[in-house]
Structure 1
């Protein structure tokens, strides 16, 4: 509501929106308006009249009813159109006056210089995959429009357009009382509610009803063994006689030997992080790459743009044609050894090994690693085998006290190890030096972004990723979640990228970026993190709070 000439202008986002031209806009439609439809916004007008009684009696001088555009999440869609060279899109700009300048600048820079010049992940057309059909978009836009001025809580999962993609064990996890979330169109288990209780998480900025269950899931992984579904990764199959050379030109780490795994970054020419991957070499000319599921279209675009023209390399996005499960915990080896003849002793199946393994009757590709920081195995299978693999592992693990764990527990466990994650700690505004990914980089080969990286090596990074232990308010405890200001001696000096409660170590943790000179062990000063408007004391944690030497993964 605002003054307009000698009157007042009132606008509303009605709860019962009606899509107009949901498939395509007529080519002869320009600046026209639609017919007035006051009946549709009557409930909202009644609210306005209660707040401003004079409006109810002065009369309506003019009604303006016109369409404007939305993407499923309400943000613009900007960037190159997949599959069509030199064809670009900039649409879904629902707030033209406020967003148009930034959209135009990013698009023009991207077209002329090959990079938008800023981190525009929230606008990039590649944040959506093929799952975002017209029907899905219609459902999410209606939801988004109706909630335009409503607070969305950090742990809130909105229902429209769901479930869309599910894996073959969705019913198994539902029967285990999974509380579901969705990312990139795929349902994934957040945590598992106590049997007999409704699998719902109460929305809050503080600690939710998931607390006790997530803590128990973390304890199971740290002390016994846990099982988690891992279908929600970006997965790529790279083959061909030129595959190794091509990957080496894109990735910062040395290409692994056959049967081995490396962790690596992928940089843009400015030396900033475009992706973070697990690379497993299955054969002389065959590789599997695992990365962020949400960045699948983003990474595919980069791969396709840089493919050699001689046909020596093939890249296939695997999607749900490859699904997985991960065993993690000190008893993980015992459980898996029960169902395979492959020797899993440390000398025979080393940390970061990758090989084909028959698990019972099921052909799998198994990597020995775990994002939880525990002894772990990632098992990848075709979808037709996932149900049988799930049942086999759960039965084999019963004696060891196996427990299902979800995304919430995994995030708590990775915080205890100070492990970063894509979009939060790793994204195109950060460099690998800032992010502490120096072990991912080997300067024994040429790769995109190497020159920028070496220049930063010489000058030193201006900021660094750090872990902090936070002292929550004992009377109203809340943990950092991301994007909170980091204060130092009364000034804002950085920001939190992600945070939460480390259940096993019983500490509130936050990861974030601060100026390099404040990260020295002998640096002076007092850190605080502002959580829900209150500054809480924080201190640097220079090593992971759990297993700082990483022995448990390698045991």
Structure 2
């Protein structure tokens, strides 16, 4: 997936500071927040899990509750120490068939964990098949306030808010081809993910471009996606979500069901973390930056002492502020002021942002 889409004649100038991409990424963000944006999402890892024991196996390796047929959920995966080793979108297509999307860079790592956990915790006779798709399934995502209107133009199905709810998933005929469509978006806006076979992707992409022209549809890249997710305090794999952190520390405890009957991997440790409170907290900071933003691993100061570290960040174009996500000790995690984030050797004043900059109650993505 491109980092950003450069107009003709514009070249990428490499710098530790804001560069030639800045205004163009801002335009991509604007297109999403005001109209509709189009993103290629094939880079996610995709798996199908089938079999009469599929739900039971997933209930063992994932800390979430298994969604009902036609529904999706965020699905943290823990190791035996209760630390995060994966975060997925889990979709129940049928009680014997599930679709999982996760980090592309961790695909082989996760696949090894899947296979190991199956042989370790289930008999050889268990009816579970794990199918990694690689690029045999590709995807496109549309996001923004006009995304539902666009989707309604290219399908005969009812995609109204009542008929196609947030976190629903179903097969949809898009033009002349069938796609698996989920109502979810990493932008935090109204949005949909469309999954299809490679031979159909170009057709769907061109159909979206043609029918989305009246809504100002525009491609957006990874840097715009980063700017959009920062406004929602969304973490990402390998930065905020890593085996260093527990789900409570990472803000994922709402998706960990310690009350479910399954003795899922890491359950005892997750219960202990909830009881003890963990040591760290993932926090979002608004940074008084000048011409550069964090990229990760910068020190977070509280007063005159380094107390934490940045995991990721950047400029949130829609909100017009520089944002840093990072971990700090639990005992000072509620302090609003007194923070500094170091950028290129300079301590920049920072303020704790206690709620998302965009749609803090999450109403827009559910409307």
SS in 1 for 2:3: strand
Please list the CA deviations of residues 304-329 of structure 1 after superposition, one character each: whole Å capped at 9, or x if unmatched: 10113224100011010000000100
Counterpart of 1:448 in structure 2 is 265
Using the size of structure 2 for normalisation, the TM-score is 0.97
The answer to whether 1:464 aligns with 2:281 is yes
2:25 is paired with a residue of what secondary structure?
A: helix
Report how far residue 525 of structure 1 moved.
Answer: 5.3
List runs of 5+ in structure 2 lacking aligned partners: none
* CA distance, structure 2, for counterparts of residue 342 and residue 401 of structure 1: 23
| In the alignment, structure 1 residue 227 sits paired with structure 2 residue 44 | no
Judged with a 3 Å threshold, the aligned counterparts in structure 2 of structure 1 residues 492 and 386 are, in CA distance, closer, same or farther, namely: same
TM superposition shift of 1:524: 6.7
Alignment of 1:34-433 (within 5 A): 188-194=1-7, 196-198=8-10, 200-307=11-118, 308=122, 309-433=124-248
Specify which of 349, 352, 358 is matched with residue 540 of structure 1. 352
User: Quick check: which one's strand share is greater?
Assistant: 2
Q: 1:226-249: per-residue Cα shift (whole Å, max 9, x none)? A: 000000101111001100000000
1:197 deviates by 1.2
Distance (Å, rounded) in 2 between the aligned partners of 1:513 and 1:260: 32
Alignment correspondent of 1:185? none
Tell me how far apart the structure 1 counterparts of residues 79 and 336 of structure 2 sit (CA, whole Å).
Answer: 35
2:366 equivalent to 1:549: no
Aligned residues of 2:59 and 2:66 also touching (Cα < 8 A): yes
Q: Deviations over 1:297-351 (max 9, x none)?
A: 0100100101132241000110100000001000000001001011011110000
Give, in whole Å, the separation in 2 of the partners of 1:441 and 1:489.
34
SS of corresponding position for 1:431: coil
CA-based RMSD of the aligned residues comes to 0.9
**Residues 394-448 of structure 1 deviation map (CA, whole Å, 9 limit, x = unaligned):** 1110111111111110000000100000000000000000001011111213210
Shift of 1:190: 1.2
Deviation per CA, 1:462-481: give whole Å up to 9, x if none. Answer: 110000000013xxx11011
1:489, 1:525 within 8 Å by CA — same for their partners in 2? Answer: no
Q: Is the 8 A contact 1:257 1:281 kept in 2?
A: yes
What is the Cα deviation at residue 457 of structure 1?
Answer: 1.2
Alpha carbons of structure 1 residues 491 and 386: separation in structure 2 relative to 1, 3 Å: same
- Unpaired segments ≥5 residues, structure 1: 1-187
1-structure distance, mates of 2:90, 2:337 = 41
- The answer to whether residue 333 in structure 2 is matched with residue 519 in structure 1 is yes
Highest relative contact order (Cα 8 Å, sep 6+), 1 or 2?
Answer: 2
* 2:160 match: secondary structure: coil
Contact kept? 2:336, 2:351, Cα under 8 Å:
no
Larger radius of gyration: 1
Which position in structure 2 is the counterpart of 1:529?
341
SS at match of 1:220: helix
Q: 1:524 to 1:229 in 2, by over 3 A?
A: closer
**Taking structure 1 as reference, are residues 542 and 524 closer, same or farther at Cα in structure 2, changes over 3 Å only?**
closer
Check conservation: 1:464, 1:515, Cα contact below 8 A.
Answer: yes
